[in-house]
């Protein structure tokens, strides 16, 4: 393992250079063209088996060790967001209105350079390592499900993945067994009332008033209908009814998001939302259109693989703390991989300790401490090698409490 770590330290500057190149040249979900080409060419230069256009725009590269064994998959996403970058940095995005505001540039750089280091150890590797480079993580239905349908997990025994996490201090690893990230759904509602002059409200069916009543009543779904032991969030994102100051709204549009961990809670909220808007409209004889959009399911880490990752992460010298975290209400389509094969997903702290202010993911001034790339690479690398080094007939040992 020391040889792998030394190689990664040697290649750290290359990792940062790749990350900055990708940061300057971001591509939106489902519009990635140059990034997958860059990834494929990097792996081809290493001599790996490479499949392109996997599930649409994904890239899958395979490193086959010289000795027989199991197969481990490592995944990184590479899409960017429709955000105008406001950082004043030398490697600022060159694409107007698009930036890597979530760290996917770092994920890709980490996996590419880890692949280069592991390639140097090919003669000693028992089994295979599959590098899954995924497109369109930021936009449902996401690239994971399409890549799985196209065979990216065929023959895979276990999968590991990480997310560089700016709110967490550099040197920390965040992880937990079981649900770690929520199912992320959305909904759209169009209320059709009857508009009219503001001086004659009795002649109207006020869409704004109906919408306000709906938003107020929605707050009771989580507080009074959902089991308090089952975490859930219902948030209204927009309420739009544009009219002159003296006109009562004919219609109103409402959008929002729902975050849950249990499928029964997810089903309940989908049903309850429609009941609330239905009753709100019935009171005044208005009509509505309701669309509930299911996004990614909850990401549920497997217990043995999570314990395995925890134990090995503690052997990375740059890791100061492995922290068992609370479940996060954000969504992540790594969830689909975990539904098909065993594995675990963790977060690598990327907060620079000297920053006066830390901007969240999806913010125009989002950034990461680039030293986190080496930590992520070492943690993924040790997990992959140690998994392959286990005798095939043995299960992963659990961490002893």
> Which two structure tokens, joined as six digits, stand for 69?
């064994």
> Which two structure tokens, joined as six digits, stand for 98?
């698009």
> Would you list the DSSP string of 81-121?
BS-------TT---STT-B--SSHHHHHHHHHHHHHHHHHT
Any residues with CB less than 8 A from the CB of 271 and at least 6 apart, and which? none
Positions in the chain short of pLDDT 70 = 392-401
User: How many Cα atoms occupy the beta-carbon half-sphere of 265 within 13 Å?
Assistant: 25
Domain membership of residue 401 (yes or no) is no
Q: Do both 265 and 117 map to the same domain?
A: no
Q: What is the pLDDT of residue 33?
A: 98
Q: Do both 32 and 43 map to the same domain?
A: yes
Write the CATH number for 349. 3.40.630.10
Q: Choose one of 265, 293, 321: the last residue of a domain.
A: 293
User: 80 in the Ramachandran plot: left (φ > 0), alpha (ψ -120 to 50) or beta?
Assistant: beta
Output phi, psi for 163, to 5 deg.
Answer: -130, 125
Q: Do both 35 and 164 map to the same domain?
A: yes
Catalytic positions? 79, 137
CA distance 188 to 186: 7
CA distance 38 to 19: 12
Domain membership of residue 400 (yes or no) is no
Domain membership of residue 306 (yes or no) is yes
Q: What is the pLDDT of residue 392?
A: 58
Q: Do both 125 and 188 map to the same domain?
A: no
Of 304, 318, 10, 372, give the one whose Cα is nearest residue 165: 372
Q: Choose one of 269, 293, 317: the last residue of a domain.
A: 293
Of 200, 120, 181, 231, give the one whose Cα is nearest residue 344: 181
Domain membership of residue 103 (yes or no) is yes
Domain membership of residue 155 (yes or no) is yes
Q: What is the pLDDT of residue 204?
A: 95
Number of domains observed in the structure of the chain: 2
Residue range of the domain that includes 209: 183-293
Domain membership of residue 257 (yes or no) is yes
Q: Do both 288 and 148 map to the same domain?
A: no
Q: What is the pLDDT of residue 324?
A: 97
Domain membership of residue 204 (yes or no) is yes
Q: Do both 215 and 227 map to the same domain?
A: yes
Q: Do both 312 and 289 map to the same domain?
A: no
Output phi, psi for 190, to 5 deg.
Answer: -115, 115
Domain membership of residue 361 (yes or no) is yes
CA distance 9 to 3: 10
Q: Do both 32 and 10 map to the same domain?
A: yes
Q: Choose one of 270, 293, 316: the last residue of a domain.
A: 293
Q: Do both 206 and 269 map to the same domain?
A: yes
Q: pTM score > 0.85 for this model?
A: yes
């Amino acid at each position: 393992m020391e040889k792998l770590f030394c190689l990664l330290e040697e290649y750290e500057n290359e990792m940062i250079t790749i990350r900055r190149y990708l940061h300057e040249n971001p591509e939106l979900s489902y519009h990635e063209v140059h990034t997958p080409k860059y990834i494929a060419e990097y792996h081809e230069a290493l001599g790996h088996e490479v499949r392109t256009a996997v599930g649409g725009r994904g890239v899958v590269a395979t490193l086959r060790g010289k000795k027989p064994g199991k197969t481990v998959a490592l995944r990184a996403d590479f899409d960017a967001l429709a955000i105008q970058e406001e950082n004043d940095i030398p490697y600022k995005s060159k694409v107007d209105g698009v930036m890597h505001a979530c760290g996917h540039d770092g994920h890709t750089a980490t996996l590419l350079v880890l692949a280069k280091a592991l390639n140097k150890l090919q003669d000693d590797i028992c089994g295979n390592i599959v590098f899954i480079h995924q497109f369109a993580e930021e936009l449902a239905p996401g690239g994971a499900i399409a890549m799985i349908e196209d065979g990216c997990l065929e023959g895979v025994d276990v999968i590991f993945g990480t997310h560089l996490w700016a709110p967490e201090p550099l040197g920390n690893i965040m992880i937990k067994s079981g649900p770690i990230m929520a199912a992320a759904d959305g909904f759209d509602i169009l209320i059709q009332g009857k508009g009219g002059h503001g001086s004659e409200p009795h002649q109207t069916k006020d869409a704004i008033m109906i919408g306000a009543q709906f938003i107020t009543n929605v707050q009771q779904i989580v507080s009074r209908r959902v089991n308090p032991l089952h975490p859930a969030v219902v948030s209204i994102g927009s309420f739009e009814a544009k009219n002159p100051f003296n006109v009562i709204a004919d219609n109103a549009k409402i959008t929002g998001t729902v975050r849950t961990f249990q499928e029964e809670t997810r089903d309940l909220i989908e049903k309850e939302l429609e009941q609330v808007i239905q009753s709100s409209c019935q009171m005044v004889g208005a009509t509505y259109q309701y669309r509930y959009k299911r996004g990614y399911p909850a990401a549920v880490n497997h217990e043995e693989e999570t314990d395995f990752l925890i134990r090995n992460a503690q052997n990375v010298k740059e890791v100061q703390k492995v922290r068992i975290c609370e479940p996060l209400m954000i969504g992540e389509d790594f969830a689909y991989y975990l539904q098909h094969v065993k594995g675990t997903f963790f977060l690598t702290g990327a907060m620079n300790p000297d920053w006066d202010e830390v901007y969240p993911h999806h913010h125009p001034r989002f950034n990461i401490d680039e030293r986190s790339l080496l930590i992520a690479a070492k943690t993924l690398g040790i997990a992959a090698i140690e998994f392959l080094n286990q005798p095939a007939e043995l299960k992963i040992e659990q961490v002893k409490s």
